[in-house]
Structure 1
Amino acid sequence: MLLLIQYTLIFASVLILVALGGCFSEHSGVINIGLEGIMVMGALGGALMMKFLPAGTSAPVIILLVVLASILLGVIYSLLLAVAAINFKADQTLVGTAMNLLGTAAATVFVKAMNTAESVDNVSSTIQYIEPKKAFLVNIGSFEFNWFMLLAFVALVLAYITLYKTRFGLRLMACGEHPQAADSVGINVYKMRYAGVLISGMLGGLGGIVYITAGVSEWKFENGVAGFGFLALAVMIFGQWKPTRIALAALLFGLFRALANVYTGFDFLTALQLPSNVYNMLPYIISLIVLAFTSQHSRAPKAEGVPYDKGMR
């Protein structure tokens, strides 16, 4: 049971971070379908930092540098969406889809090229981070606490305060509801939308490194992030674009994802003799069922996905 809680919390942490990222972007009026690609880029940045950090680096420094590398690469990659959607008024769904395809492909090519340069016999897209990963873990009895769990909780609290208790957050949401009205009172809609997309890149990139370090000490980048970016979008929609509800939805989906790792520890689940792939599919099946029954009552920001034209009223 303790192992189930452990995996639920770490997978929920991934979903909270990435879904909050999507929440900020969509509250600003930009649909971010590209969270999957952003996660891959963030994971790549963090994994490379862990790979090339010198041996003997202290745990706090490892945590800080890995988090910063993931955030930086996630933000840089999210600029593709920001420039295309805000400056060039491109179709946001198509841009996000292209980012997802490009993210996994680019990371795979880069890691294979890097591994080949180090050893001609190594053409895999795998990066190992066995020792650096230990900096994120603290054993509390038989429970393995991960500092990313605390980071996700802090991000959740800050997201709630930012969106509902600060001038910036209220202005950001105004740009996603009625950008023309926001512009009429002096709010720069373009800057607010840039801020929303870049925050989503920051949180999405961070979610990527959390995901690839959850329970494993190496990652094969041609696998991407197994659809977790889309699962985070489902969490965001189910959570009605509100941080507190997103957290509850993330715990639910995280629980079903955790079952794939620990189902053998439960006799009644083992007795069912279901293939392990069924448990891997569970969170995605649940997301389809949940969205089928709840999406018609969802209330997305009114102006999301609509390119802002200053001349329109």
Structure 2
Amino acid sequence: MWELLIIIVPSAIAYTMPLLMGALGGLYSERSGVTNLCIEGLMLFGCFASAATIVKLQAIPGFSFNLAIVIGIVVAMLASTLLAALHAIASINLKADQTISGTAINMLSSALSLFLAQTITGSGNITVVRAVIRSDVPILSKIPVIGPLFFSETYWTTWICIAVWVISYFLLYKTSFGLRLRACGEHPSAVASAGVNVHKMRYIGVLTSGFLSGLGGACILVTYAGEYNAGSGINGLGFLAIAALIFGQWKPLGILGSTAFFGLCMTIANIGRILPAFSGIPMAVLGAFPYIATLIALVFSSKKSAAPLASGQPF
């Protein structure tokens, strides 16, 4: 059992972090009152942008590998933020149907990233020569039981994502900014009467969703994926992030728990086929396990939905 945990837990953490960033991005947007169904497209575009940037930089003789990774992640966040701006303009300024706008962004992201990838490589796939290397956390990795599970062989991007989650929790629940943002998603008319610019707050929420989703897409690339694949994209992880947002009841703590659950499901689906403990389960069942678990989780969580009251309603 211990050997099984040593394999599963670090991998589950790696799968959890991109989901956590995507779900957090959706949280900012929907708490501001804008329904965001384009997390999939934003994460996909972030994955593509980081892959293209890293490959181009690594082709420069003598260019630092670590610096290329960092620049690639930053470019991913900025590129997804620009794409999210289209959703913000359509939803806030033009008062378009937010569900249709999100769907359109997903389609645009898929088509645009495929076209650009084919232009760059000819095949549509962009493979990063090297990605982030796992390493132990000094001192903490030596703690009995906890150390080998959570602090041994981790990615440094994991700690960035955890820091973002902590900052987000503080911003949303311990600051006046967070209070205004959440109020815009509940009673925008009351907030506007108090002198708060609702459109500005919603723009911040949507652009932040793009920023964090881009980080999630880049984390997929530089940790376990290692390439942008035009055929498979990000395998629906953006939609799983939306499901985690709903399952987590639009709250940071709930999102952390739900993304950890879905990350574990993704781990079982991806590495379960090589583990003796899961050898008797057909591969098709293992592959479908995360999505089956998502449906079951949403069935139980939908009865007590805590969605923002004004989410999806133009102002």
Superposition RMSD in Å: 1.6
* One of 133, 137, 142 as aligned partner of 1:137: 133
SS of the residue corresponding to residue 135 of structure 2 reads strand
Write the mapping of 1:50-129 to structure 2, written as runs, cut at 5 A.
Answer: 50-53=54-57, 54-115=60-121, 123-129=122-128
Give the AA of the match of 1:285.
I
SS of the residue corresponding to residue 215 of structure 1 reads helix
Q: Distance in 2 between matches of 1:181 and 1:222?
A: 46
- Indicate conservation of the 8 Å contact 1:21/1:202, yes or no: yes
Aligned residue number for residue 184 of structure 1: 193
TM-score (norm 2): 0.90
* One of 150, 165, 174 as aligned partner of 1:165: 174
- Shift of residue 288 of structure 1? 0.5
Q: Distance in 1 between matches of 2:127 and 2:277?
A: 35
What runs of 5+ residues in structure 2 fail to find an aligned partner? 142-147
- Indicate conservation of the 8 Å contact 1:257/1:279, yes or no: no
Aligned residues: 296
* One of 236, 244, 258 as aligned partner of 2:245: 236
- Shift of residue 222 of structure 1? 3.2
Q: Distance in 2 between matches of 1:306 and 1:94?
A: 13
Q: Distance in 1 between matches of 2:162 and 2:290?
A: 21
Write the mapping of 1:147-296 to structure 2, written as runs, cut at 5 A.
Answer: 147-270=156-279, 272-275=280-283, 277-296=284-303
- Superposed CA deviations along residues 71-128 of structure 1, whole A, max 9, x for unmatched, are 100100001100000000000000101111111111111111222xxxxxxx311101
Q: Distance in 1 between matches of 2:10 and 2:68?
A: 22
- Superposed CA deviations along residues 280-303 of structure 1, whole A, max 9, x for unmatched, are 221111111110121121110000
Give the AA of the match of 1:191.
K
Aligned residue number for residue 41 of structure 1: 45
Q: Distance in 2 between matches of 1:234 and 1:67?
A: 24
SS of the residue corresponding to residue 134 of structure 2 reads strand
- Shift of residue 138 of structure 1? 3.0
Q: Distance in 2 between matches of 1:177 and 1:264?
A: 45
What runs of 5+ residues in structure 1 fail to find an aligned partner? 116-122, 309-313
